Amino acid sequence: MIEIQNLTKDYGRIRAIDDVSFTVGKGEIVGFLGPNGAGKTTTMNIITGFISSTSGSVRVAGYDILENPVEVKRHIGYLPEQPPLYPDMTVSEFLDFCADLKKVTAREWKNQKKDIMELVKITHVSHRLIKNLSKGYKQRVGLAQALVGSPDVLILDEPTVGLDPKQIMEIRKLIKALGKNHTIILSSHILPEVSAVCDRVIIINKGRIAAIDTPENLSKKLSDFSRFTITVAGPESKVREILEGVEGVKDVEISGSPGEDETCFIVEADKDSDVRRPIFNQLASAGYPILELKSMNLSLEEIFLQLTTTEVKEVV
């Protein structure tokens, strides 16, 4: 749905983005991450046609942004970090204005308008002035204008900035729902939000792509070991002895005792060793049941920091 090839943007002597390439498939929700000044907003502005690139190409739904800018814009809905709202308009008037700008026919808009307002839950405030709405509802109106014209692609820049935890959860659910019918690029500094809704992440640092993959795969690639917690019913010393004796296990630590005769251990193993089966077999043979086993992959925050606080190195 989106194809970016060798995208470069120079501002005088400053190179904002440098040879950026990636693709986003139909129906994907992709997190676009990077520190301030990394080139995220510049890239999104080029994709949406707000600014032109120095070199490289952008194709959306098969159309080139330079050769068919109007067609590309028909396929894109864009929510900038600061929603482009007119505070002295009512919600209904503003959406009508957006539909007119996007040249949606009156017939199409009559059905679309109702559906969009119901989807983002702003029907009951449709006749209120935008300036009198809360931050959360203004953000919903911003999302509604991005949906006008039923675009295939949504580009959302910090859609939950400034919202309270309840509002963040509501917008997160809405983005998840939108992902069923739209391709979405989501830029956010709230990394748990990205982990919760995105299929893949693209991390950009100093204008270049640092990584493209799922958070789970990036964790495996960047870790020197695998780590997990395991809770076992049995004598602590005996269970620990069994765990430490499994080939591939590097370290075993006790992290707590959730119940009587139950112990939770943190186990580190060689990166390329899958020690779960031998652990299961040996504990079962000894009569010590496993009550819980949970992977401890690197969090997206840890991945982000590892890739953006060192020199740019591609992890793809």
Q: What is the CATH number of the domain that holds 102?
A: 3.40.50.300
Q: For residues 210 and 244, state if they share a domain.
A: no
Q: For residues 106 and 90, state if they share a domain.
A: yes
Count structural domains, the chain: 2
Q: For residues 9 and 114, state if they share a domain.
A: yes
Place of tokens 């959302």: 156
* Separation in Å, CA 191 to CA 88, 207, 211: 34, 20, 15
pLDDT for the residue 315 = 53
Q: For residues 106 and 199, state if they share a domain.
A: yes
pLDDT for the residue 155 = 93
Token digits of residue 178: 């939108």
Q: For residues 178 and 46, state if they share a domain.
A: yes
The three-class DSSP label of residue 38 is: coil
Q: For residues 140 and 75, state if they share a domain.
A: yes
Q: Which of 181, 149, 143, 153 is nearest to 65 (CA)?
A: 153
Cα(183)–Cα(28) distance, rounded to whole angstroms? 5
pLDDT for the residue 21 = 94
In a domain, 302, yes or no: no
**Of 171, 192, 219, which residue is a domain's last?**
219
Q: Which residues contact 32 (CB under 8 A, 6 or more apart)?
A: 40, 43, 44, 185, 186, 187, 201, 202, 204
Burial class of residue 313, CB neighbours in 10 A (0-12, 13-18, 19+): exposed
Q: For residues 140 and 231, state if they share a domain.
A: no
In the chain, the amino acid numbered 46 is: I
Any idea what the Cα angle at residue 226 is, between residues 221 and 227, rounded to 5°? 135
Q: What is the CATH number of the domain that holds 268?
A: 3.30.70.100
**Of 184, 219, 254, which residue is a domain's last?**
219
Rg of the chain on CA atoms, in Å: 24
User: Residue 297 carries which DSSP code?
Assistant: P
Which residues span the domain enclosing 255? Answer: 224-296
In a domain, 314, yes or no: no
Cα(241)–Cα(2) distance, rounded to whole angstroms? 53
Tens place of pLDDT per residue across the chain (316 aa): 899 999 999 999 999 999 999 999 988 999 999 888 888 889 999 998 889 999 999 999 889 998 998 888 889 999 988 888 999 999 999 999 999 998 999 999 988 999 999 988 899 999 999 999 988 889 889 999 999 998 999 999 888 877 788 878 888 888 888 888 889 999 888 787 788 888 899 999 999 999 898 887 887 777 767 888 999 999 999 999 999 999 999 899 998 888 788 999 999 888 777 888 999 999 999 999 999 998 877 778 878 888 887 554 555 5
In a domain, 305, yes or no: no
Chain centroid to Cα 71, Å, comes to 26
Q: For residues 231 and 250, state if they share a domain.
A: yes
Taking each helix axis from N to C terminus, what angle separates 165-178 and 135-147, rounded to the nearest 10 degrees? 10
Give the total residue count for the chain. 316
In a domain, 252, yes or no: yes
pLDDT for the residue 224 = 67
In a domain, 310, yes or no: no
**Of 199, 219, 239, which residue is a domain's last?**
219
In a domain, 124, yes or no: yes
Query: DSSP labels for 39-66?
Result: SHHHHHHHHTTSS--SEEEEEETTEETT
In a domain, 276, yes or no: yes
Q: For residues 119 and 262, state if they share a domain.
A: no
Q: For residues 140 and 240, state if they share a domain.
A: no
Chain centroid to Cα 93, Å, comes to 32
Q: For residues 207 and 92, state if they share a domain.
A: yes
In a domain, 263, yes or no: yes
- Considering the entire predicted model, what is its pTM? 0.76
Q: For residues 68 and 150, state if they share a domain.
A: yes
